[in-house]
Structure 1
Amino acid sequence: MDEKGRVYVYGQVTEPATGALYSIWRIGLDGRLDTAFGNGGYGLLAEDFFQYITTDGARLPDGSFILKGSHRRQAAFYKVTPEGLLDPSYGSNGIVFNGAGGSEDPFAVDAQGRVLQVRNRFGKAPDIIRYMVSGERDMTFGTDGAATVSHPDGVFNATEIRIGPQGRIFLAGDDGESQSQINAAHVARFLSDGQIDTSFGQGFGVARILIEGEEIGAISTAAVTDDGGVYLVGSRSRGRFSDFLALRTDSDGLHDMTWGEDGRVQLDLASSHDYGDVVDIDADGRVLIGGSIFAWDQENLRREIGLVRLLPMEPVAAGPQPPESSGALTLAPNPTRGPASVWLELSAPEARATVVVYDALGREVALLHDGPLAGGNHAFETPGGIAAGVYLVRASLGARAVTRAFTVVR
């Protein structure tokens, strides 16, 4: 998406009128093809099916694009101008043949326009290759042009690469094809020059989060916060079914056990199989998770798109002390094993105040109050006996609302 909210789609599409093949197209604010882009809304015209097979892409600050895929059956990157044409100044006539990573291996583009390509290696730690703005391989990056983890516990299957604060590089994934019998999430952090950052995680640059029990966990993607914390998103099996799974590390690479339930959020979207595929963090620190959900509709398996937004966890004071600030909504204890005390302080009377408890999917769990309230402090209590998980208390006060999150643990 660009700064005007227009969406760019990468892949292969056939232009209906002529049958021509293109690799990028733009959707306008009205949800329709934006014909002002490229050739009637499409960019990078292909002579035939195998000239450009695009699997991913990234938009650069100057409006140009780096597309990843294959050219004539060889793995390649190609650079496209803001007008949707191949940029001949990049690589060899706009194309860089990428012998480093496979079509499913993730890639990223840093603020300078350099491509970072991940290479998963069965039974070995993944590594990262960097290409300069010109398209040439950067042999000053890492060691002999490759960044990797030398510690034995650094062996994992990388599924996402992200650029974080200070140009640090985050590589996330799971045990995957490492032949390990333990289901764990992994995050490796590298400095901007490709050297492993040994101050992160367990002392060798990798944070490893064990997903305990017999249930299998898979990490599909990750997002990095402004302070260097990492959200890991994927799925976790629940018998024959699966749910969205989210984990969090702090900026030091330690598993944040205060987030969610025992350090994780697991969400059942009322379907049989939920797979978290994408994650992002908005300007308010809320975590947006999207993915595929599958459910049986009589005898047919229906596929839909699921989107969940998680509120940021805010620290609150423990103990049953009323709030000091005017207009505040406070909960304690948080996390809680039973009912939590809720205090709402009003600086003036409200003709109608509604206080409701919701679960993480936005379903109403309990109505704590609905009616007028005088100015001053008001105490409520969340219900006991509700299932473990993340909940929200929302106080609607006329045209404004105040929301706080709390966690029930068992």
Structure 2
Amino acid sequence: MKKYYFLLLLAVSYFTTAQTFSLDSSFGESGYKKINSTTLSDAIMLPDGQFITAYSSSSSINIKKINQNGTVDAAFGTKIINVDSYSSIDESESVKKMVLHNGKIIIIGKANANPTYSLYNLFILRMNLDGTLDTSFGTNGFTKISLGQNGTADDIVVDDNGNSYVLGYNMGSFMLKFNANGIIDNSFGNSGSLALGSFNPKKLYRQNDGKFLLVGSKKNTSTNINESYVERRLTNGNYDSGFGNNGVIIVPSNMHTSVTNFEYDYSNNTILLLHSASDGYDSVFLSKIQISDGAFVTGFSNGGRTPNYSFTDAPRLFISQIKVLPNSKILVIGNVSNFWTANINTQLFVMRFNANGAIDYSTSNNGYQIFNTTPPSTSVRADYIQRMFVLDEGSFILSYSGGSATYGYSSYLTKFTGAFLGVNDTAVDRSQSPLILYPNPVGNTFTIQNKNKGNYSFEYRILDVLGRIVQTGSSKFNTETNIQELQKGKYIILTEAKGEKQSLKFIKN
């Protein structure tokens, strides 16, 4: 009897705490917008707040535009891109990642290389914002490279000159470099491909100084355990010997762990790493290292690493998304199954941490919340969470996909309100704020007037629509601040002067 009473308390706690974090019913259909019926897709947010989505359908990639309110842009329609001459591309991974760069969209994925579907090609394509192929890139808009039977593309970054670096796998991990015209750069690595050995990378990032950070896991051959692994490489692909131990950081563990994602904070010279761990019960932990040399930040949690956080009511847990919010809270999102019974569908799992790495219990007694991934009638699982977009008003949108035994596969955009995020904790009612930013929209410079502090100096951070810090620095009130390096779009500037924090929104034209 006590066991059932405990389960009842869990159920009551789950449904009551979930109310602090809810769907935005004004978006799409009651908070959800179904994009397509496929196993995997991707989405990017444009500077105007609209979304471009890409997914596979038969032998083509379909491109759609979604408005800010979750409706389909009928004027844009559906654009069709063919990259495979055979009857069907590999739908499971045909669209693996999209990036927006200088007004162009670059997509990577894989397609069939022969009629028997036993070999695959990695493709990289570039298209215009209207959904048409950029025929100046590769051959009529795309380039294909042989990957062999088990090849796959995982991640991509683009440098300031338009060169693309693609993370892939085929019997070992590698990084490919394509020049701005979409042609493989044979001067990089071995004929354009840099072998990464037995390292199993999950994410690739290009720092402001051009160095590359790769995170994932690597097997410890002595213990046969996969351990969280980070490496940094120079622009030519060589290890950065000044980072960690000759370019490598290993987080020792007595269980299987992996770095699944990370966040840069250039203003504090740190990198926040998100780890998953498993020893029967799955868990999550955070660590923080210095950008300069990879040393652990001793002021974060216990010597730079939090404990492993696990939950007996969520034994199958995988966290994949992390975002440091403007108020320094840390948001992580993933999926969970087997919450109360082994038969529950994979659902969204959300946690928030304080800046020091401790769990934030202010929004939930459990420290986390669980949500249906789609309207209950569809029973779609949150198997793959591709993107998290934090919007400037404090809400956020997830792009994810998953399967259902009854309804098949689907991909969705889902919008949540910002009450749980606390993004606006540092925001100020404009009518009460002493700050005025002008002109707005902004050209290459703006000025912030402070009614209370004259020409005092202030430190600032500028965040884009994804919540990424894109510029930091110091300036003075009533003096022009230069932002000519920023692309057009919406931004938030966070200022701090004499211990007083303020935030303002602006648009760069």
What is the TM-score with the length of structure 1 in the denominator? 0.64
1:170, 1:188 within 8 Å by CA — same for their partners in 2?
yes
* 1:245-291 deviations in Å (ceiling 9; x for gaps): 12122322121222466432321022252235132323444332221
Q: C-alpha separation between the residues in 1 aligned to 2:212 and 2:305? A: 22
State the alpha-carbon separation in 1 of the partners of residues 198 and 357 from structure 2: 27
Alignment-derived partner of residue 334 in structure 2: 234
Give the Cα separation in 1 of the matches to 2:140 and 2:430: 56
Residue 208 of structure 2 aligns with which residue?
111
Q: Which residue of 1 aligns with 2:195?
A: 97
- Decide whether the 8 Å contact of 1:108 with 1:161 is kept in 2: no
- 1:49 Cα deviation after fit: 4.4
Shift in Å, 1:124: 5.6
1:158 matched to 2:259? The reply is: yes
Provide the C-alpha distance between the structure 2 equivalents of 1:287 and 1:185, rounded to a whole number of angstroms: 22
Name the CA distance, whole Å, in 2 between partners of 1:137 and 1:249. 33
Paired residue secondary structure (2:346): strand
**Residues 318-361 of structure 1 deviation map (CA, whole Å, 9 limit, x = unaligned):** xxxxxx9989xxxxxxxxxxxxxxxxxxxxxxxxxxxxxxxxxx
Q: Residue in 2 aligned with 1:273?
A: 381
Amino acid at match of 1:312: G
Tell me the secondary structure at the aligned position of residue 300 of structure 2: coil
Amino acid at match of 2:410: E
- In structure 2, do the counterparts of structure 1 residues 316 and 170 end up closer, same or farther at CA, with 3 Å as the change threshold? closer
Tell me the CA shift for residue 138 of structure 1: 1.2
Residues 100, 129 of structure 1: 8 Å contact kept: no
Q: Which residue of structure 1 aligns with residue 411 of structure 2?
A: 305
8 Å contact 2:122–2:152 — kept in the other structure? no
Partner of 1:220: 320
Q: Percent identity?
A: 18
User: Does structure 1 residue 139 correspond to structure 2 residue 241?
Assistant: yes
Distance (Å, rounded) in 2 between the aligned partners of 1:225 and 1:243: 23
SS at the partner of 1:130? strand
Asked whether the 8 Å contact 2:399–2:412 carries over to 1, the reply is yes
The 5-angstrom pairing of residues 11-410 of structure 1 reads 11-13=109-111, 21=121, 23-43=123-143, 45-46=144-145, 49=148, 53-70=152-169, 73-102=171-200, 105-118=202-215, 119-121=217-219, 123=225, 125-150=227-252, 156-166=257-267, 167-176=269-278, 180-192=279-291, 193-206=293-306, 208-213=308-313, 215-226=315-326, 229-237=329-337, 238=339, 239=341, 240=343, 241-259=345-363, 262-268=366-372, 269=374, 270=376, 271-275=379-383, 277-278=385-386, 279-297=388-406, 301-313=407-419, 314=422
Secondary structure at 2:100 match in 1: coil
Q: Offset at 1:57? A: 1.5
Give the direction of change, closer, same or farther, for the CA distance of 1:70–1:181 in structure 2 (3 Å limit): closer
Q: What SS does the aligned partner of 2:301 have?
A: coil
Work out whether residues 214 and 232 of structure 2, in 8 Å CA contact, stay in contact via their aligned partners in 1: yes
Calculate the aligned-residue CA RMSD, in Å. Answer: 3.6
* Deviation, structure 1 residue 133: 0.8
Output the TM-score relative to the length of structure 2.
0.53
Match of 2:194, as an amino acid?
V
Change beyond 3 A, Cα 1:285–1:273: same
Report how many aligned residue pairs link the two structures. 309
Q: Once structures 1 and 2 are overlaid, which stretch shifts more, 132-141 or 233-242?
A: 233-242
Query: Do 1:234 and 1:275's aligned partners in 2 also have CA atoms closer than 8 Å?
Result: no
Q: Considering only CA atoms, is the larger Rg found in Structure 1 or Structure 2?
A: 1
What is the CA–CA distance in structure 1 between the aligned matches of 2:235 and 2:270, rounded to whole Å?
Answer: 18
Structure 1 portions without partners, runs of 5+:
318-323, 328-410
Moved more, 51-60 or 249-258: 51-60
Alignment deviations for residues 114-173 of structure 1 (CA, whole Å, 9 cap, x no partner): 2222333353641211110111111211123322335x5896232223433444222213
Note if contact 1:148-1:196 (Cα within 8 Å) is conserved in structure 2.
Answer: no
Match of 1:8 among 96, 102, 106: 106
The answer for the alignment partner of 2:488 in structure 1 is none
Q: Where does the alignment leave 5 or more consecutive residues of structure 2 unmatched? A: 1-98, 115-119, 433-509
